[in-house]
Amino acid sequence: MFDLDRWQEIYQVLSRNKMRTFLTAFGVFWGIFMLVVMLGAGNGLENGVTQNLGDLATNSVFIWTQQTSVPYNGLPRGRNYNFVNEDVPALKRAIPEMKYIAPRLRAGGFNGTNNVVRGKKSGGFSIMGEYPVINQIDPVNIMNGRFLNNLDIKYERKVVIVGIRVIELLFEEGEEPIDQYIQIQGVYFKVVGIFKSKRSGEQSDFENQNIYMPFTTMQKTFNMGNSIGFFAITSKNNIPVTLVETKAIEILKKRHNVAPEDERAVGHFNLEKEFKQMRGLFGGIRGLVWVVGIGTLLAGIIGVSNIMLVVVKERTREFGIQRAIGATPWIIVRQVITESVVLTTFAGYFGLVVGVGLLELINKLLESSGADTEMFLHPGVNFDMAITALTILIFSGMFAGLIPAKKAVSLKPIDALRFD
């Protein structure tokens, strides 16, 4: 492997016709370059889409009420109803597979009326009534202060944590918002925390304009009784949330006199199901990229094999002399395969480096430009992909040299010496 004479011989063979060697190597270079770039672009697209979810638990389901569409137990169709506080312990008792359950309320609305005031400034924001457990399901980054806690819930404290966009609109630059008061629909609340969304793009902008207050405080302060707007629920590890979703909907229908066959009365969104579909889509994209990339690489490998056949033909007399002075067929085969592997590995490695470099350059340009890249983020390939590509290169080089190597030892030494 480290025989200097062998490496000098390989160099001399490949450098005899530099243009031919370059064009042959370029086919391999282009194949691995395109494979890396396409894989990196696919990863960038997947990163952009998954980044929009932030750290939202993918094994979660959201359930809310809608109008009934089937009459049941003497109750008419088209009936409105609400989930209530008593539903929470009922669900906990009946569904041991459930990990977290967070009752939620919403007041106001995104870009709604000016429902929040501080001094001479005002704005329209989404006001959410939450339990502390929501930060286990849909977490946010706490930039200053704290998140809601169980004492806030127990004592119905008039405290809020606010998104960074709320701070930008209601407070002066450099002003300390913590322990300051804001007025929400005529009621004063103390700011105890500031958060920033973990998501990206429009979803991040929306979440950064939210205001969270204790769930019990919202119910009492704004006369919501014991009503619940909707549930956020997650399943325990290794348990599909679909199982929890089915059980929860069945229990809630029974508790609120909704017909079992009424498919419209309970709205629900299964993030786990959507996430699996998304993963399947990107898995299909990766598979297609590998097929196209390997096909392009194969075209380059075939070119290497064809050129090696030409090289073997040109060196027929040389191989005949080697055989005549005692070289075994294996030595000739090894020599030809080594030349093929060296050519493909060097060309492919250069293509890999250039491809990774291009992806890094694109990533730097995206970050420095400040452009909205929510659908395309951090394009690149991981270490496993790079090792896989290099392994494919080595085996491809061996394959490319196999047929020429067999050709090199197919002639008898005496016939090789007579070849012209």
> For residues 58 and 201, which has the higher predicted lDDT (pLDDT)?
58
**Of 255, 288, 313, at which residue does a domain stop?**
255
Same domain, 249 and 290: no
Backbone angles phi, psi at 161, to 5 degrees: -115, 140
pLDDT tens figures, 374-403: 566 667 677 777 777 777 777 777 777 776
Same domain, 29 and 93: no
Residue 322 has pLDDT above 80, yes or no: no
C-alpha 310 chain-centroid distance: 47
Same domain, 368 and 238: no
pLDDT tens figures, 259-317: 999 999 999 999 888 878 877 877 887 788 778 777 777 777 777 777 776 766 666 66
Same domain, 199 and 231: yes
Same domain, 44 and 92: no
Distance between CA atoms of residues 367 and 213, nearest Å? 35
Map tokens 């480290």 to a residue. Answer: 2
Same domain, 178 and 32: no
Same domain, 281 and 175: no
Same domain, 321 and 207: no
Residue 66 lies in a domain: no
Same domain, 105 and 185: yes
pLDDT band at 111 (very low <50, low <70, confident <90, very high): very low
Q: Could you write out the three-class secondary structure of 146-187?
A: CCCCHHHHHCCCCEEEEEHHHHHHHCCCCCCCCCCEEEECCE
The whole-number average pLDDT for the span 253-261 is 94
Residue 420 has pLDDT above 70, yes or no: no
Count of domains for the chain: 2
- Domain, as residue range, for 193: 82-255
The whole-number average pLDDT for the span 25-49 is 79
**Of 255, 288, 321, at which residue does a domain stop?**
255
Q: Are 81 and 64 in contact (CB under 8 A)?
A: no
pLDDT band at 11 (very low <50, low <70, confident <90, very high): low
Residue 418 has pLDDT above 90, yes or no: no
Same domain, 242 and 211: yes
Percent of the chain whose predicted confidence (pLDDT) is above 70: 80
Residue 260 lies in a domain: no
Residue 133 has pLDDT above 90, yes or no: yes
Residue 267 lies in a domain: no
pLDDT tens figures, 183-197: 998 899 999 999 998
What's the pLDDT at 109?
46
Residue 75 lies in a domain: no
Q: Are 245 and 117 in contact (CB under 8 A)?
A: no
pLDDT tens figures, 92-101: 999 999 999 9
> For residues 331 and 361, which has the higher predicted lDDT (pLDDT)?
361
Same domain, 248 and 118: yes
Residue 103 lies in a domain: yes
Among 25-29, 234-238, 328-332, 367-371, the range with the most confident prediction by mean pLDDT is 234-238
Same domain, 400 and 286: yes
Q: Are 33 and 355 in contact (CB under 8 A)?
A: yes
Residue 71 lies in a domain: no
Considering only 36-40, 53-57, 83-87, 210-214, which range has the smallest mean pLDDT? 53-57
